[in-house]
Structure 1
Amino acid sequence: MDVQEFVKALDAEGRSLAAAAERAGPDAEVATCPGWQVRDLVRHTGMVHRWARAFVTEGHTAYLRDGGLPELDGAELLAWFRDGHRRLVDSLASAPLDVECWSFLPAPSPLAFWARRQAHETTVHRVDAQSALDGTPDAVAPDFAVDGIDELLRGFHGRTRSKVRAQAPCVLRVRATDADAVWTLRLSPEPPVSERGPARGARQDEDPDVDCEVSGPAARLYLALWNRLPFPTVTGDSSLVALWRETSAVTWS
């Protein structure tokens, strides 16, 4: 996916998030984020949008602290969120491809990083907002979900700060059943090592080197890996799924 595709996704997902938050109301519980109400979700995502935009528009080449959460609520909070989202979309869409600024995951360019990261950030939180409503959240496109799995496994959990560690070496495999993509995570007391390959090859029950495999449609795996849904299918050592749940959270700092 290219920058403009990510910006288009960010645009649609942010508008859907705001619409769901408006329908649910600020007091509604966010089912996928225990302990959060809709106002918490909107404040957090709006803060992240403004934080991300500052790097691209102001050219910061080192880490910059966020501006904190607003005390706004209700209609004022939603207006603040929509304004920040719109500014982020417009800034990413109009930024020069060679803009130089800080980023924190591998990407073809800083602009590509921020467009991708904010598209996925907003998609996951759109699902959160819709979880505060009755019914099933809108679907995530398979190709977008595959990219998001790749960002999470090879990006976030390719860093030394990942807490997904196992006492003894073992292998967790993630297989998308509707896309030509399989990820192999080698876990140990050290940071995880992830590789992506085509979907062909032995399943967990046919491969003695794989301790556990999670499989299913890419969109379900995407949300499961972000700890928003249960994994569709688990074969092998299910304790690795519990390990993932306990240690994989990406937290704001």
Structure 2
Amino acid sequence: MGTKTPEELTGTHHGPMPQPPDPRGAATDLDVLAALQAAFATTVDTVDPDVPVPSCGRWRVRHLVVHLARVHHWAAGQASRTRETPLGRGPFDLPVLYRTCAEELLTTLRRLDPAAHAWTLSDDGVPREQQTGTVAFWHRRQKLETLVHLWDLRAAAGLATDVGPLGDATQWWDAVREVAEVMHPRQVRLGRVAAPPVALVLRRGDGGPEPVDVVLDGGSAVAPAPASPRVVVTGRAQDLGLMVWGRVPTASSALAVAGEGMADDDAHAALAGLVAAGLTP
């Protein structure tokens, strides 16, 4: 997800943003991915490639577009268990490059059986006999990769970031769940960060069909004791998703942070430390 290499995976808009298919709740991850890709491609057509992207460090729009195109190309190879042919250094025609790689990914994922074995981030650092990754992993991973980077692109250009597929709280809540289920446990498993000293509880404050908290504990197999300290963060699904991906600061007024079994000030400090250490690649 992020702003790293593919292996570490991360103006005015004209016309309506593409929407995930109806009826409500019927859209698959591939449906949403297609809608997000279409929105990204349409936005690329309207934004100056030299516009800075503050959420991605020193990147400009052209770096973001090439990055997501490369990730799509790489992920298509991961899903089909083939080494991708490098795209080269460029320069690229950005709209053509992105549309070509987006279509390659979507075509590949639609062709493959979702249950077929694939190379996935879930299996990094896991013994071969215990690896369980399937093509369906990439349906979700690329959906959420594109969700976050579409936000990056539109925020950089000063465009609305809560319209079309970006306004779908279900997808942002899935981004939160994926960090807790896949990304942060991988960080811990690969030794990039230490297992968190306290559990981080992420709680939707905007309703929705999934009121159950997401608990981020680094994938610990040992359930914390009931009296263990916890950091509880409440906010909209989008703000929580952006926070775990480092796009919204932990001190944002959009987030309510409280400690359970610890002082609120200590909870704020613990949250800031966890996010700074790297919940994601």
SS class of match (1:129) = helix
Instruction: Tell me how far apart the structure 2 counterparts of residues 225 and 122 of structure 1 sit (CA, whole Å).
Output: 15
1:148-199 per-residue CA deviation (whole Å, 9 max, x = no partner) reads: 21111121111212644378x323221112241212234xxxx553899xxx
Q: TM-score, normalised by structure 2?
A: 0.71
Instruction: Tell me how far apart the structure 2 counterparts of residues 122 and 105 of structure 1 sit (CA, whole Å).
Output: 19
Matched, 1:244 2:274: yes
Matched, 1:96 2:113: yes
Map 1:161-180 onto structure 2 (within 5 A).
161=190, 163-165=192-194, 169-177=197-205, 178=207, 179-180=210-211
Equivalent residue number for residue 215 of structure 2: 184
Identity %: 24
Shift of 1:247: 1.1
Equivalent residue number for residue 130 of structure 1: 154
Shift of 1:218: 1.4
Instruction: Tell me how far apart the structure 2 counterparts of residues 52 and 3 of structure 1 sit (CA, whole Å).
Output: 25
Contact 1:44 1:69 in 2 (8 A): no
Matched, 1:40 2:63: yes
Contact 1:185 1:193 in 2 (8 A): no
Shift of 1:66: 7.5
Matched, 1:56 2:56: no
SS class of match (2:234) = strand
Contact 1:170 1:210 in 2 (8 A): yes
The one-letter amino acid paired with 2:233 is V
Instruction: Tell me how far apart the structure 2 counterparts of residues 86 and 101 of structure 1 sit (CA, whole Å).
Output: 19
Instruction: Tell me how far apart the structure 1 counterparts of residues 28 and 39 of structure 2 sit (CA, whole Å).
Output: 17
Residues 247 and 67 (structure 1), Cα distance of their counterparts in 2 relative to 1, 3 Å cut: farther
Matched, 1:216 2:240: no
1:178-233 per-residue CA deviation (whole Å, 9 max, x = no partner) reads: 241212234xxxx553899xxxxxxxxxx863342111121211111111123421
Residues 69 and 225 (structure 1), Cα distance of their counterparts in 2 relative to 1, 3 Å cut: farther
Match of 1:15 among 25, 35, 38: 38
Instruction: Tell me how far apart the structure 1 counterparts of residues 85 and 227 of structure 2 sit (CA, whole Å).
Output: 46
Q: Which runs of 5+ in 2 are unaligned?
A: 1-24, 124-130, 259-263
**CA RMSD of superposed structures (Å):** 3.0
Equivalent residue number for residue 142 of structure 1: 169
Q: Which runs of 5+ in 1 are unaligned?
A: 197-206
Shift of 1:8: 1.1
Residues 222 and 66 (structure 1), Cα distance of their counterparts in 2 relative to 1, 3 Å cut: farther
Contact 1:184 1:194 in 2 (8 A): no
Instruction: Tell me how far apart the structure 2 counterparts of residues 155 and 47 of structure 1 sit (CA, whole Å).
Output: 21
